[in-house]
Amino acid sequence: MINTAAKIKKDFPRIKIIIVTSMPEESFIRKAREAGCESHWYKDVGVEDLLSVMDRTMAGESVYPDDAPVIKIGLAKSTEFTKRELDVLRELVNGHSQKDIADILGIKYDSVRTHLKSILLKTGYDTPSRFIAEVSHKNYMIPEFYETSREDEDTEK
C-alpha cells in the first residue's frame, strides 16, 4: 500500500493520496508521510470524520492522527511498550532470531532476552510465538516481507 502510494506520487505528483487503513501499526503513519501521502486515517472512525479528512485534504491540509489507536494485546495496552521493546518486537515479527536482533539493533543478546521477557510479562503470554501470533493477528505490526509481497501481488493484477 505505502510503496504503491509512493509510486503514484512519483508519477503523478498532483494527485492527493489519503491512506485509510484498519492497521494500527504506528510505522504506517511515518511511512505514509515519507511516501508523500497528504493524509492518513483509520477505517474505524465514523463516516463524518472520514468525510472531514477528505474535505480537509482536498482543501490542501495534510491530516494525520496524533497516535495509532490503542489496542489490547494480552493483558497489556499497546501504549505500555517501551521504544526498545517495540524495536525488538518489530524484528521478531520480521522473523529474526534473538541473536540477529541483537546484531541489527546493536545491543547485547542478553538485552534482547530481557526486553522479550518484559514483553511477555506485560502481556501474560508464555511464549514468544503465541505473542507474535496475536500481534500479527491484530495487525499491530505487519512483517516487512508481508507488506512487500502483498504490494507485489497488487502490482501483478
Distances (CA, A) of 19 to 30, 44, 57, 63, 96: 12, 13, 11, 10, 28
Same domain, 139 and 76: yes
Q: Do both 63 and 76 map to the same domain?
A: no
Q: Domain ends where: 29, 50, 69?
A: 69
Q: Which range marks the domain in which residue 132 is found? A: 72-144
Cα–Cα distances in angstroms (integers) from residue 155 to residues 15, 33, 34, 139, 144, in the given order: 19, 21, 20, 22, 17
Higher pLDDT, residue 24 or 146 = 24
Mean pLDDT in residue range 11-25: 87
58 and 81 inside one domain: no
pLDDT at 142: 63
What is the rounded CA–CA span in Å between residue 79 and residue 142?
Answer: 17
Q: Are both 81 and 56 inside the same structural domain?
A: no
**CATH code where residue 13 lies:** 3.40.50.2300
Does residue 57 sit in the same domain as residue 93?
no
Provide the domain count of the chain: 2
Q: How far apart are CA 39 and CA 20, in angstroms?
A: 8
- Looking at the predicted structure, is the pLDDT value of residue 110 above 50? yes
User: Are 86 and 38 part of one and the same domain?
Assistant: no
Per-residue pLDDT tens digits for 27-64: 778 888 899 999 988 887 888 988 999 999 999 999 99
